[in-house]
Amino acid sequence: MEIHFQQNEHLKDGETEITLSAKTRSLEIDELIEYLKNYRSMPPAVIPFKSDDHVYLINPDNIILIDVSGNDLNVYTPERVIPTKGRLYALIDRLKNPNFIQVSKHAAVNINHLQSLEASFTGGMTAILTGKLKTDISRKYLGDLEHRLGL
C-alpha cells in the first residue's frame, strides 16, 4: 500500500478530498471507505468517570457492564466498580462503540466480555460476563443482542 499527499488549492478551507486507487474494488477497499466515513466518530481511547473525589480514566475495552442502581450508574471493570452519575443512554452515546449493547432498561454490556447466555425465569435471558458478573436481558432487547451476535 502506498500513501501520497497532494495539495489542492481549489479546495475550500476545511475541505478534504480522498481518492482510493486499486486494480479492482475489494472488501479491503470497502472497509477502508467505511473507516474513513466514520473517522470523526471513532470511539475515544479513554472515558473519564467522576466518582466522589476521583476521576477515573477508563479504556472502553475494559468496561464489562454498565448498570443503573437507584440514582447511580455503576461502571464495572476487571479492577473496580465505579459509581458515577448520568443516564445509561447518554453514556452509551458517549462511548461511540458498537460493542456496547443495551440489554435492559437498566443495563448495557460490552459484548467482548460476554461469555454465555442462559435462559431466565422471566422468559428473557441472563448474560454471563467476565469476572462472573451477571445481568438480565429483557425480551425487548434480546432481538438486538441476537442480531449483533449473528444469531
pLDDT in tens, 10-67: 988 888 888 889 999 888 888 888 888 776 666 678 889 988 889 999 999 999 999 9
The CATH number of the domain covering residues in 47-149: 2.40.50.1020
pTM: 0.70
Residue 70 has pLDDT above 90, yes or no: no
pLDDT in tens, 122-147: 777 899 999 999 999 998 998 888 88
CB 101 within 8 A of CB 88: no
